[in-house]
């Protein structure tokens, strides 16, 4: 593991790697839109034209991401660009501990691992162009084998894509929370209270939940509520923190209007 001084500045929550011709206008676009709604800062290279060499700025973006999500589609391995991204991502996993989540989009993980099936056919076409660069080919094969052995998501005809995207978002939000947990340093001795309230909220459930926090004035009810709100606000499409309701209603004789 690299020392903290060697870890690059993290600018993005997620780096999204995908084969544009396969998924840009369908699965990838829906996933990226879901990232935006969840306030997950995402780097996505959506340029239609690419050169033969991967750009230094793209390599830098991979290093500056907390998590890389790789959409492994049928023709992913036909692109030298995609395979160079993949190799760089796995290098960051090894050097910096970057989290890597593969999504097997209508491909079998075993086909990725062994370069077989339609996925293997796409890679075979690329091999012909680099048959004299054995070290490069071996690096790509090793990267494909490694990513296929990682825990991820499988998108196929057996499950609705919207469900897979929702589950992926929830998984990433949980991972991000572990990477950058909420700071309660200014709330001395309330960690156990916060955990108890979190257990009552049943985050991830489809039920509507209301939790009341009751106590004397000045004991930290608002601070605890805000800490929990800040931790989970990205789990929802919309959120708003209303405080001082009694005072505001008394002073202005009306309640805050939510739009």
Half-sphere exposure of 8 (CA within 13 A, CB side): 16
Helices (H), 159-190: 161-179
Which residue in 52, 85, 243, 248 is the catalytic one?
85
For residues 101 and 90, what is the distance between their CA atoms, to the nearest angstrom?
11
Angle between helices 134-148 and 117-129 (to 10 degrees): 160
Tokens of 153: 């998501």
For the residues of 63-111, what is the DSSP string, one character each? HTEEEEEEEE-TTGGG-HHHHHHHHHHHHHHHHH--EEEEEEESS-HHH
* 85 is a catalytic site residue: yes
State the virtual CA torsion across 221, 222, 227, 228 in degrees, nearest 10.
70
Return the active site residues.
85
């Amino acid at each position: 593991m690299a020392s903290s001084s060697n870890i690059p500045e993290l600018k993005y929550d997620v780096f999204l790697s995908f084969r544009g011709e396969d998924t840009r206008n369908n699965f990838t676009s829906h996933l990226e839109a879901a990232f935006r709604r969840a306030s997950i800062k995402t780097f996505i290279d959506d340029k239609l034209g690419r050169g033969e060499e991967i750009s230094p700025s793209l390599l830098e973006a991979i290093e500056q991401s907390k998590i890389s999500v790789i959409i492994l589609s049928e023709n992913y391995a036909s692109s030298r660009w995609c395979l160079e991204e993949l190799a760089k991502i796995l290098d960051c996993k090894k050097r910096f501990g970057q989290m890597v989540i593969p999504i097997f989009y209508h491909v079998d993980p075993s086909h990725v691992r062994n370069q077989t099936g339609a996925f293997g056919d796409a890679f075979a076409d690329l091999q012909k162009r680099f048959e004299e660069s054995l070290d490069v080919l071996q690096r790509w094969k090793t990267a494909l084998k490694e990513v296929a052995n990682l825990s991820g998501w499988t998108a196929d005809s057996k499950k609705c894509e919207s469900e897979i995207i929702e589950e992926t978002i929830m998984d990433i939000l949980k991972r991000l929370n572990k990477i950058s947990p909420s700071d309660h340093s200014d709330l001395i001795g309330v960690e156990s209270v916060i955990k108890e309230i979190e257990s009552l909220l049943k985050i991830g459930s489809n039920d509507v939940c209301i939790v009341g926090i009751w106590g004397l004035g000045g004991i930290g009810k608002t601070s605890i509520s805000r800490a929990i709100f800040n931790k989970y606000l990205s789990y929802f499409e919309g959120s708003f923190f209303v405080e001082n309701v009694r005072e505001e209603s008394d002073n202005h004789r009306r309640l805050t209007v939510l739009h």
